[in-house]
Amino acid sequence: MSALHDLAVAELARRLRTRDVSAVEVARHFLARGQAFDALGAYLATDEEVTLGQARAADVRLAAGDPAPLLGVPVAHKDIFVTREFPSTAGSRMLADYRSPFDATVVRLLAEAGAVSLGKLNCDEFAMGSSNENSAFRPARNPWDTSRIPGGSSGGSAVAVAARLAPAATGTDTGGSIRQPASFCGITGIKPTYGRASRHGMIAFASSLDQAGPMARSAEDCALLLSAMCGPDPDRDSTSLDMPAEDFGRQLGDSLDGLRIGVPREFFGPGLADDVRAAIDAALKQYEKLGATLVDISLPRTELSIPVYYIIAPAEASSNLSRFDGVKFGHRARQYDDLVDMYRRTRAEGFGDEVKRRIMIGTYVLSHGYYDAYYLQAQKIRRMIADDFQQAFRACDLIAGPAAPSVAWKLGAKADDPVANYLADIFTLPGSLAGLPGMSLPCGFGEAGMPVGLQLLGNYFQEARLLNAAHRFQQATDFHLRKPEGV
């Protein structure tokens, strides 16, 4: 029998239902692994009593024949989702030890599906970053090479899944923060169409871009989790789509014969590392063997996605983060002269450098005299980027390319150059700005044996098709089954 931590979500759920193993046994196993691999920095908060209490409740439901699809399966949550039973910090000193009075909708839905929470996972502060080095508490480390970053902002989630510290995890994707760390850590992650998953209880970064999604080892596992996470939430999230929950795994196993996969020429320019290019080219050839047809397409405004995103996202962040003022909740400076001084000192002490940088950029582009020149123009180009995708989807069904231009880099390598970090999002930002569903799946290895991720993008509401395309690739390859040495 395989070790519990090597079982996929689907197989673990099956063994729990057949009572081959109890939810308490599974929870204890993963809690022990989390402690044993604490040096990876994946977790920010755990509570054995809470987790085992949820596991015992799951065992009672299992014994009663409850058909909940994830009953007893452990899941860990990115610390951007608020939770009643664990601290919710968003990776920031501003919210150190903050306890929410309610669970985020995504957390609640997974609990209703039977998932057992292992704790809260590390992330870049307020989800701002591409490396997880912006966490106020400690960086997460890539289990394939602990001297390297795991990607961000959902770095802790990617590390936990890759190192088998959790069968699955939640993540959020604002500009690529599920897909890029999934690529760097050799796991599978999907961002659904904007509005598919409720943002209620997700600590806001950029409200028109933030979207929750699952991270796991396979497309099959992601389909199970996404089916539980999504659904309308009109009373709590005004941007939630009025679409019923659905089974995103319903197309798994369908033939890829006749599938048209668009390959954007802009994704294969001189900025793409040779080792990543080789892995992506091999993956595309594998799709041809599976019956798909490759179609040359163009996304001409790809390069503009970086300046557009880094105007719109900071602008929304500067508004969203204004609520952290030391008055109602979170950190408050201990010494101050008056109300204005309290605001100033509280925010100076509570926010890290990257968050301050983005607040300042956002405030600038929204200020009188610059709104029309920057923010309004960025919104117009955002619409054009979305139109480019719709033009491309006339010729293809899915779009494929690299998730990132390189494999994971060394910790600290880009710490003094924020623009270099921003450029690493070049391939994920266009889909985020358009609100499209996208995912990353492991497709090979590059420099120093580091994982490479293939990005798949679909048109709106095509998550099931995306997941099937990934699933068929994973049936024909074993990249998603490989794990870092020593875990």
Environment class of 461 (CB within 10 Å of its CB; exposed 0-12, middle 13-18, buried 19+) = middle
Helix (H) or strand (E) holding 172: strand 168-173
CA–CA separation, 434 and 388 (whole Å): 9
Query: What is the phi-psi region of residue 319: left when phi exceeds 0, alpha when psi lies from -120 to 50, beta otherwise?
Result: alpha
- pLDDT for 172 beyond 70: yes
Other beta carbons within 10 Å of 75: 27
Helix (H) or strand (E) holding 348: helix 339-350
Widest Cα–Cα separation across the chain: 70
Could you report the per-residue pLDDT of 387-401, keeping only the tens digit for each? 999 999 999 999 999
pLDDT of 297: 98
- pLDDT for 1 beyond 70: no
The answer to whether 450 and 479 are in contact (CB under 8 A) is: no
The answer to whether 126 and 78 are in contact (CB under 8 A) is: no
pLDDT of 53: 98
Q: Coil, strand, or helix at residue 117?
A: strand
For the chain, the average pLDDT equals: 97
Query: What is the phi-psi region of residue 39: left when phi exceeds 0, alpha when psi lies from -120 to 50, beta otherwise?
Result: alpha
CA–CA separation, 301 and 148 (whole Å): 31
Name the residue with tokens 């990005």. Answer: 455
CA–CA separation, 427 and 152 (whole Å): 14
Mean pLDDT of 105-129: 98
CA–CA separation, 208 and 450 (whole Å): 33
CA–CA separation, 34 and 119 (whole Å): 10
- pLDDT for 414 beyond 80: yes
> What percent of the chain stands above pLDDT 90?
97
Give the domains, in start order, of the chain with CATH numbers.
4-258+396-481 (3.90.1300.10)
Q: Coil, strand, or helix at residue 191?
A: strand
Which token pair is 120?
Answer: 């809260």
Could you report the per-residue pLDDT of 442-472, keeping only the tens digit for each? 999 999 999 999 999 999 999 999 999 999 9
Q: Coil, strand, or helix at residue 37?
A: coil
- pLDDT for 108 beyond 60: yes
Mean pLDDT of 73-90: 98
- pLDDT for 222 beyond 60: yes
- pLDDT for 415 beyond 90: no
- pLDDT for 2 beyond 90: no
Q: The whole model's pTM is what?
A: 0.97
105-120 as b/e: b if 16+ CB within 10 A: bbbbbbbebbbbbbbb
Name the residue with tokens 């992330």. Answer: 123
pLDDT of 116: 98
**Residues catalogued as catalytic:** 78, 153, 177
Task: Please name the residues in contact with 51: beta carbons below 8 A apart, sequence gap of 6 or more.
Answer: 27, 31, 74, 116, 117, 118, 119
CA–CA separation, 198 and 240 (whole Å): 6
Mean pLDDT of 86-94: 98
DSSP string, 72-101: T-EEEEETTB--SSS---TT-GGGTT---S
